[in-house]
Amino acid sequence: MRRTNPLPVLPRFIVRLLLLSGLLTCAAAHAGAPSKPNVVLILADDLGWTDLACFGSDLVETPNLDRLAREGMKFTQNYSACTVCSPTRAAMMTGKYPARLHITDWIPGAMPDNPKLLVPDWTKYLPLEEVTVAEVFKAAGYATASIGKWHLGMAGNVTYYPDKQGFDLNIAGTDKPQPPTYYAPYKIPTLSPEGKEGEYLTDRLGEEAVKWIESVKDKPFFLYLPHFAVHLPQQGRPDLTAKYEQKLAAKGGANSALRHKNPAYASMTEAMDQAIGRVRAKLAELGLTERTIVIFTSDNGGRVPTTSNKPLRLGKASAYEGGVRVPMIVHWPGVTKPGSVSNAPVITMDLFPTIVEMAGLPASAARTAVDGVSFASILRNPAAKATRDTLFWHYPHHQHYQLGGAMPYGAVRSGDFKLVEFFNDMHVELYNIREDIGEERDLATAQPKKVEELRRRLHAWRQEVGAQMPTSNPKHNPARPEYTPAAKAKKPAVK
């Protein structure tokens, strides 16, 4: 068997019947209760921990997300399930660790020229047997839509698209990791009609979300809005890019003391913020704000050097905090204290059971989300006890664009300590994240007992979830680097 699962894999129609019967029973018991809350789950792509103004950006303006933070709760120690995108998206949909799903790299992934280790035979799609959070909400009578990036299927195969995973509507979701372009014509087969020349993709997704909300306003809805922004290609909206070029120039340009210095990236971020603002404005116009839960987060850390994640170390695809610590804001009307902040550690899988609890669905609806832990108690009271103490990561893959700490690794964070185990030579590094957020001081030699404890827990967890490990490459040439850096294309001469 390719997957270790504590629950039997039931035929899909039986799972759906169980879900539907349980949820319908709950609905009947609460026939006179107020309408169920709507849920809007927004996912940015490659957005770093400090890329929003409300999380410390010294360049980017994000007034709509700043307002969401003022009205809701910010999480300062929120983590993505993986350091790259597809595994995190799968974890969000299922409430399971990527290692348990065997979806452990961006789909389809890539191998270096001369790897020391060969990656395992991992799964390059989200199996239909998995119960998604969308299926749970659909069974509870919700309208469901996925508008934006999907990236959980095999190339050219529509079998695993969102409409097969519990979503009534799929707009722009395919197997692809990024759009061909952010300017119409987009050439995205699931985005129709094609945009007018020059239309901006992030704006379009916001408008599609607004139209759909208008169409389902009279029933509860679950909207998954995974923006392509701020993933490559780096194409800012022209008006906003010009704005940030001027702003950066006024502060000293590339030589300024700013941490963030990328006008195109800033433009892409603010365009996403504006699209989110349009969605919230529509909710207000329809009188839905007070019964709509809004959640915003990112699938992994920001890509370096496109952005800076400082004070965190490195970024997307690395084993360090810059690769997995990401912003999260939650607004639960009437529940979250405005402007509240939680320092509790939470991770992607926790969203599934949390949203189920927030919506008032029966706890059994989240029974398949075996690795998720609801943090609804923290949303009710930011001083509440943390709902989990330990987080794990498993990345048996390679990445060419983030070589610092991007080799195959596993990691565990428990309390203030984080241990990283690099599979190439099985050496470990140990950091006290509370005292050393930038992971500059390796404590592995000084604290061997802590290393032994965390390593034992990491190995036991890998066994429990059936994590796949890389294997030695008999053709590896130790005299050559694993990666042969690609030559940079020369810029055309200016005429």
DSSP codes joined into one string, 402-466: --TT-SSEEEEEETTEEEEEETTTTEEEEEETTT-TT--S--TTT-HHHHHHHHHHHHHHHHHHT
pTM: 0.92
Average pLDDT over residues 13-36: 50
DSSP conformational letter for 95: S
Percent of the chain with pLDDT over 70: 90
3-class SS of residue 144: strand
Take residue 239 and report the two structure tokens written for it: 């008006």
- Mean of the per-residue pLDDT values of the chain: 92
User: For residue 492, what pLDDT is reported?
Assistant: 37
Instruction: With respect to residue 462, please indicate whether it lies within any of the assigned structural domains.
Output: no
Instruction: With respect to residue 447, please indicate whether it lies within any of the assigned structural domains.
Output: no
CATH of the domain at 342: 3.40.720.10
Is the pLDDT at 490 greater than 90, yes or no? Answer: no
User: For residue 22, what pLDDT is reported?
Assistant: 53
Instruction: With respect to residue 332, please indicate whether it lies within any of the assigned structural domains.
Output: yes
User: For residue 464, what pLDDT is reported?
Assistant: 98
User: For residue 35, what pLDDT is reported?
Assistant: 80
Instruction: With respect to residue 123, please indicate whether it lies within any of the assigned structural domains.
Output: yes
Instruction: With respect to residue 487, please indicate whether it lies within any of the assigned structural domains.
Output: no
- Per DSSP, helices labelled H in 35-105 are 63-71, 85-94, 98-101
Average pLDDT over residues 298-309: 96
User: For residue 405, what pLDDT is reported?
Assistant: 63
Instruction: With respect to residue 317, please indicate whether it lies within any of the assigned structural domains.
Output: yes
DSSP string spanning 267-325? Answer: HHHHHHHHHHHHHHHHHHHTT-GGGEEEEEEESSPPPTTTS--TTS-S-TTSSSHHHHB
Instruction: With respect to residue 405, please indicate whether it lies within any of the assigned structural domains.
Output: no
Is the pLDDT at 1 greater than 80, yes or no? Answer: no
User: For residue 463, what pLDDT is reported?
Assistant: 98
User: For residue 482, what pLDDT is reported?
Assistant: 86
Report pLDDT digits (tens) over 409-465. 999 999 999 999 999 999 999 999 999 999 999 999 999 999 999 999 999 999 999
Pairing relationship of beta strands 346-347 and 340-342 according to DSSP bridges: unpaired
* Structural domain span for residue 292: 12-389
The answer to whether the CB of 196 falls within 8 A of the CB of 184 is: yes
Is the pLDDT at 243 greater than 80, yes or no? Answer: yes
Average pLDDT over residues 185-210: 97
20 CB-near residues (< 8 Å, 6+ apart): 139
Position with higher pLDDT, 487 vs 32:
487
Report pLDDT digits (tens) over 458-475. 999 999 999 999 999 999
Take residue 437 and report the two structure tokens written for it: 């957020």
Omega of the bond prior to 193 within 30 degrees of 0, cis?
yes
Pairing relationship of beta strands 38-44 and 346-347 according to DSSP bridges: unpaired
User: For residue 399, what pLDDT is reported?
Assistant: 82
User: For residue 255, what pLDDT is reported?
Assistant: 87
Is the pLDDT at 494 greater than 50, yes or no? Answer: no
Q: How many domains does the chain have?
A: 1
